[in-house]
Structure 1
């Protein structure tokens, strides 16, 4: 059976999750990947839930328990992870163009490591007054609130 659009799309999302999981050395309960492609600008970022604490990529070690292996949270390593995610977003854009599908303006991916489930939500259309960093921070704050932080 040959691959279809959805197979390729899912593979690229899984690749984003995979690099984010690798970054924290499989120590996260949940991985949150934010992707957008709006006004020809690519934006990707990641945050995590580790030991019940929702944290940004540069603060993952603060969520670890004693005895857990510290993560190499070097800014260069964070940048390398985000470059891979951004390349995957660009590949999604090309895939959508090739298959004549609308590219989502925003993709929010939540990977649950305990159940090995990936859920994604998609937003289409773009509002010029929306700021990517603010949208990402709002999602982060929403997940922190859910975790009781």
Structure 2
């Protein structure tokens, strides 16, 4: 059976989820993946919800409850963080290649929310330029806004 565009998109997003889940050794409640592509600029990042705390990938250990014996200690080394980002960017670029190959428009923004307990992935896509036409806005600003939005809504 011939693969269709949606099959490739699903596989690539699944790979993004897998690498982000591996980074936390399957020990998170939720995580949020942000992908962005605007002409000649790709961006990928992730943040997590652990023990009820919404934290950036480099702050995972701040979410560990110190009162629990044998607390989880996450390896948040730069090498591991870079590996996650590199794989995510590779997948995002491959999504772009598949969009071109299938004559599809490439989303300018992909927001993925993965609920670990329910094994459920929600995706939201945007297609209009977000930061290209803004002199001060960068993709990491959009990521930070989303992080703060999720953090506030989770209180």
Please state which band the TM-score falls in when normalised by the shorter chain. Answer: over 0.9
Instruction: Output the CA distance in 1 between the equivalents of 2:5 and 2:85.
Output: 24
User: Whose radius of gyration is greater, 1 or 2?
Assistant: 2
2:153 pairs, out of 142, 146, 149, with 146
Greater shift in the superposed pair: 66-75 or 13-22: 66-75
Post-superposition Cα deviations, 1:70-124, rounded to whole Å, max 9, x if no partner, equal: 1110011100110000000000000000000000000000000010000000010
Is 1:63 the counterpart of 2:63 in the alignment? yes
Could you state the TM-score of these two structures normalised by the residue count of structure 1? 0.96
Residue by residue over 1:24-82, the C-alpha shift from the partner in whole angstroms, topping out at 9 and shown as x without a partner, is 00111001000011021010000000011000000001112333321110011100110
The 2-side partners of 1:6 and 1:39 are apart by 23
Matched, 1:20 2:20: yes
1:45 alignment partner, SS class: strand
Gaps of 5+ in 2: none
Q: How many residues align?
A: 148
Q: What SS class does the counterpart of residue 68 from structure 1 fall into? A: coil
- Looking at structure 2, the residues matched to 5 and 39 of structure 1 have their Cα atoms a distance apart, in angstroms, of 21
Query: What residue number does 1:9 align with?
Result: 9
More deviation, 119-128/40-49: 119-128
SS for the counterpart of 1:69 is coil
User: Aligned-pair RMSD on alpha carbons?
Assistant: 1.0
Whole-angstrom distance in 2 between the partners of 1:28 and 1:2: 35
Give the match's secondary structure for 2:124: strand
Find the aligned partners of 2:58 and 2:42 in 1 and give their Cα distance.
21
Counterpart check, 1:86 vs 2:93: no
Question: Within 2, Cα distance between the matches of 1:126 and 1:106?
Answer: 9
Consecutive unaligned residues of structure 1, counting only runs of 5 or more, are none
Of 91, 109, 113, which residue of structure 2 is paired with 1:110?
113
The two structures have a TM-score, normalised by structure 2, of: 0.92
Aligned to 2:44: 44
